[in-house]
Structure 1
Amino acid sequence: MDIPVIHLKTGNADVINSKEVLFIHAAERLTLIHTKDQVYRPAVTLKDFAEVLLSEGFESLEKSNLTNINLVQYYDKISNEAYFDKTKEGKSVRVSRRNRSKMD
């Protein structure tokens, strides 16, 4: 699924595929889309994404994020962090206690 976005650093309009999205994070009134190497700003809210992307493998792992479960490479049960690479050095998202079962 194609998602229209604004590149956060350059301000350029672009379109990305949902399969590239690691997670979508909401902070205050700003929603950010994280891919492996970039960060984008969408034109819709996190709630709007949740309705559309659940069928694409996205799950809410914490109140402020929507995560592509298919791209999680490692889950640390002690820190409750889901990582998108096995080295645990790249991007990660927090998993709430309520949603830990989604990582099993």
Structure 2
Amino acid sequence: MKLRLDEIIERIITINHAWKLSRDEFGNDFVATKSFRDTKSSLQATLLREFPDDVYLKEATDADEHAEEMYSVRLSSNIVINGVVRTDIEHLPVRIAHEIFTTQELKKFIK
């Protein structure tokens, strides 16, 4: 069963919150923290691959707030998720993007 755009976005947001809670409570090296991070990245990859007209990558403008370079996963048009207007779907570290996407995919996804 293929998930809808809004369903994948909702899952990414939920998992991102769980990842942050796990990271803050147990640290980056805790197995659940790593699992949440990897699941979020996998869902972001699914989103980009299955909805290329609706989603793209953009270099994060708030990268100085992070320990590494980040992409922002952006929506081509706003969407309401759980009553909140969303323009992006969390950050994706550049390092991870290079692990999960081919060079051709990155060229296609980055705007």
TM-score (norm 1): 0.36
Structure with more of its chain in strand, by fraction: 1
Structure with more of its chain in helix, by fraction: 2
Higher RCO (CA 8 Å, separation ≥ 6 residues) = 2
TM-score (norm 2): 0.34
